[in-house]
């Protein structure tokens, strides 16, 4: 199991700043359990009204993150669980 300190150091190495939220912790644990990074194709996100996206481990995690964010940051509602994938120009 990954410790918060290890997750934070991995986030720092990857150039990701910000808080170690429950959703970030779940995503890191899911990646560790899978033994690899999540695939680079379609991924699940929790998205706020301004388009700020939080990367999630799966659809259930995205919905749970959206629910948590709605309670923690109501001014940024509505939140949606969405799946996005890169598109070639």
What is the pTM for the complete model shown?
0.56
Q: Are 64 and 25 in contact (CB under 8 A)?
A: no
Domain extents for the chain? 4-84
Tell me how far CA of residue 69 lies from CA of 27, 30, 47, 84, in angstroms: 15, 20, 10, 19
pLDDT of 38: 47
Cα–Cα distance for residue pair 8/57, rounded to 1 Å: 17
Assign 42 a pLDDT band (cuts: 50, 70, 90).
confident
Q: How many CB atoms lie within 10 A of CB 32?
A: 15
- Farthest CA pair distance, the chain: 39
Give the tens place of pLDDT for each residue, 54-78: 988 888 999 999 999 999 999 999 9
């Amino acid at each position: 199991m990954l410790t918060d300190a290890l997750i934070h150091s991995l986030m720092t190495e990857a150039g990701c700043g910000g808080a170690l939220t429950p959703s970030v912790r779940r995503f890191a644990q899911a990646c560790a359990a899978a033994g690899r990074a999540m695939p680079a194709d379609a991924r699940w996100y929790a998205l706020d009204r301004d388009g700020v996206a939080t990367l999630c481990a799966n659809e259930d995690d995205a919905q749970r993150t959206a629910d948590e964010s709605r309670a923690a940051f109501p001014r940024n509602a509505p939140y949606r669980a969405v799946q996005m994938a890169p598109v070639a120009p």
